[in-house]
Chains A and B, each alone.
Chain A
Amino acid sequence: MLKERLIQYLLLALALTAVLSLAVITVFILREGLPVLIEFGPIRFLTRSEWAPTQGQFGILAMVVGSLWVTLGALLVGVPLGVAVAVFVTDYSPPLLAQVLRPAVQLLAGVPSVIYGFIGLKILVPLIRDSMGGAGLSVLAGALVLGIMVLPSVIAVSEDSIRAVPQLYRDGALALGATHWQSLWRVVLPAAKSGIVASIVLGMGRAVGETMAVIMVVGNSLQLPSSPLEAATTLTSNIGLEMAYASGAHRQALFATGIVLFAFIMLLNLVASAFRRRTIRA
């Protein structure tokens, strides 16, 4: 029937919106950032640490390093915590507590990033400054705040994959005399490995992409941080910081930074998806 056909094509057109949007995003970000990237040279862009955009110096090494440090820290905080909570919900928790924990984690994910940032600024930063030295605004502050922010993602994906491990595995291990923990550590978690790796990569993507909370606590200095107590800049915080004031080549350089960020996160998400697909098959 003609009407059905029309409806089908209309639905198809709407369904392609997501892909189309992605394409437009890519095109426009490239359009703005590629000229500077090419002119300055992508290698120089990525490996030089001198960022003085009003004088034509566009090296983002300091931000790349900053992002890596902060992300690593966030994973060190968020992954063990997140996997532990996932294990708790699946294998340790009394059912009532699990019912409380799940919406609680969802809520944690819903808290706006600017609130995380401000709490970090008001509580974490002075804490670090007074107890460990430095300015407080630091890689450590960023890592702690981000670590908590990636928790919900890590928990959700890990939980899925741990749950997917057949009960048989656990029972088998216990029947062989393993303790509860041994059955988890030596049998279940290794079986859920791909899912947990997926959650780590996903968490990494979230951490690298977070902007507002990081701007408020990481200090935004242009040095290559040599300790977690020193300040740093991340790719995202630099864009967020300077975007409002930038024009001309400066603005294009920020878009070029955006290209690097975009590419890196897309890569991470692809890797995460690949690992996730492996769990479902398992």
Chain B
Amino acid sequence: MPEERRSEGKPTRRRLGGLNARNTNVLAGGFVWLAALGTLAILVFIIVYVLWQGLPHVSWEFLTGTPTSMGRTGGIGPMIVSTVALSFLSVLIAFPVGVATAIYLTEYTREGTLTRIIRFGTEALAGVPSIIFGLFGFVFFVIYLGFGWSLLSGALTLAVMILPTIVRTSEEAILTVPKAYREVSYSLGASRWQMVTTVVLPAALPGIATGVVLGLGRTVGETAAVILTAGAALHMPTSLFSPARSMAVHFYVLAREGISDSNAWATGAVLLVTILFTNVIINRLLLRAMKRQAAR
């Protein structure tokens, strides 16, 4: 390849080796490709390793049995129930609040001081680390409000944690609904609330659902906040005020204290499969949302 003239004002330098522009280009390209494939490899490794270590120990008895000997033997039935209860409860609380916030910000008000305050609160909440949520949940729900270590304390804390996610995705989803929809609705005589509930929300549903599932996924994997608010008792929770040990917490305890590596990995495998499952759902929902957009 002939030497290229650079319009940099520098005398043309012909170097076939060393760090000339072409070699740097190739090297940089190589690095970038390596980074991408490496990241992919890391993900694949994590999934394969956890499933390889854990799935052999997963059985129906494991999934429904109760733990014995502090988890060295037995199953994780109560943990699964606890996780499901915590996640669904927290979404139950956060969903209406989050969607309401998004509706308010998009349909009921103009940009101004109030919206800036609301947005600041939401964004700030998104950045709070989970251990702080744990400390807060402990001192506020467990002690101050007297709920004790319980499903309720855990769910409330988790709800606050996932609120920003739901607000953000709901807002985005609502904003993508075309103005035309709203105008048609108004022209037919609908009130604002009617327009929102009959036109905007249904149209924005896939996007909103994505946010909900994202939040759900986050609650499944959360440990620090849960351990400080829902406790770590091994028994099946029987009411909102029972302490509960989620799968993630169980995994942490088993793993860290070396109680049972095989049970730890098995729990981890179940956890990971759950996350994979929710991610697949998210992607499906996103596809549906995008298809709807394209169809307009």
B255/A114 in contact, CB under 8 A: yes
Task: Report A-chain residues with C-beta under 8 Å of the C-beta of B50.
Answer: 115, 119
Task: Report B-chain residues with C-beta under 8 Å of the C-beta of A110.
Answer: 217-218, 221, 275, 278-279
Q: Is A128 an interface residue (CB 8 A)?
A: no
Interface string of A117-142 (1 = CB under 8 A from B): 11101010000000000000000000
Task: Report A-chain residues with C-beta under 8 Å of the C-beta of B92.
Answer: none
Report the minimum CB–CB distance from A126 to chain B (whole Å): 14
Task: Report B-chain residues with C-beta under 8 Å of the C-beta of A169.
Answer: none
A266 to B120, CA, bound (A): 11
Task: Report A-chain residues with C-beta under 8 Å of the C-beta of B114.
Answer: 12
Task: Report A-chain residues with C-beta under 8 Å of the C-beta of B103.
Answer: 11
Taking CB atoms and an 8 Å cut-off, the chain B residues in 82-118 that contact chain A are 96-97, 100-101, 103-105, 108-109, 114, 117-118
Report the minimum CB–CB distance from B93 to chain A (whole Å): 10
The residue from B118, B129, B131 contacting A18, defined by CB atoms under 8 A apart = B118
Q: Is B40 an interface residue (CB 8 A)?
A: yes
A112/B223 in contact, CB under 8 A: yes
Interface string of B243-259 (1 = CB under 8 A from A): 00000100110011000
A29 to B133, CA, bound (A): 10
Of A20-28, A49-57, A192-200, A223-231, which binds chain B? A20-28
A261/B129 in contact, CB under 8 A: yes
The residue from A21, A87, A236 contacting B160, defined by CB atoms under 8 A apart = A21
B40/A258 in contact, CB under 8 A: no
B123/A182 in contact, CB under 8 A: no
Q: Is B288 an interface residue (CB 8 A)?
A: no
Q: Is B31 an interface residue (CB 8 A)?
A: yes
B129/A119 in contact, CB under 8 A: no
A212/B160 in contact, CB under 8 A: no
Task: Report A-chain residues with C-beta under 8 Å of the C-beta of B5.
Answer: 177
Task: Report B-chain residues with C-beta under 8 Å of the C-beta of A35.
Answer: none
Number of interface residues of A (CB under 8 A): 87
A255 to B164, CA, bound (A): 24
Interface string of A1-39 (1 = CB under 8 A from B): 101100110111011111111101100110110000000
A28/B136 in contact, CB under 8 A: yes
B255/A118 in contact, CB under 8 A: yes
Q: Is B192 an interface residue (CB 8 A)?
A: yes
Of B22-30, B68-76, B180-188, which binds chain A? B22-30
Report the minimum CB–CB distance from B238 to chain A (whole Å): 24
Taking CB atoms and an 8 Å cut-off, the chain A residues in 143-180 that contact chain B are 148, 151, 176-180
Q: List 25 A-B contacts (CB under 8 A).
A: A14-B101, A15-B105, A18-B121, A21-B163, A22-B125, A25-B140, A25-B160, A84-B34, A85-B32, A92-B32, A101-B36, A103-B283, A104-B43, A108-B43, A112-B248, A114-B251, A117-B252, A118-B255, A179-B22, A180-B25, A181-B29, A216-B256, A243-B134, A258-B132, A258-B135
Interface residues in chain A, defined as those with a beta carbon under 8 Å from any beta carbon in chain B: 1, 3-4, 7-8, 10-12, 14-22, 24-25, 28-29, 31-32, 80-81, 84-85, 87-89, 92-93, 97, 100-101, 103-108, 110-119, 121, 123, 148, 151, 176-182, 184-185, 205, 208-212, 215-216, 236, 239-240, 243-244, 254-255, 258, 261-262, 265-266, 268-269, 273
Additional A-B contact list (17), CB under 8 Å, known A22-B121, A106-B282, A177-B6: A3-B191, A8-B104, A14-B96, A15-B100, A16-B121, A21-B121, A103-B279, A104-B40, A105-B43, A107-B43, A115-B50, A115-B251, A181-B24, A181-B25, A240-B224, A243-B228, A262-B129
| 4 pairs of A and B residues whose beta carbons are closest in the complex | A209-B129, A19-B121, A112-B221, A84-B35
Interface residues in chain B, defined as those with a beta carbon under 8 Å from any beta carbon in chain A: 4-7, 21-22, 24-25, 28-29, 31-36, 38-40, 42-43, 46-47, 49-50, 96-97, 100-101, 103-105, 108-109, 114, 117-118, 120-136, 138-140, 144, 160, 163-164, 167, 191-193, 217-218, 220-224, 227-228, 248, 251-252, 255-256, 264, 268, 271-272, 275-276, 278-279, 282-283
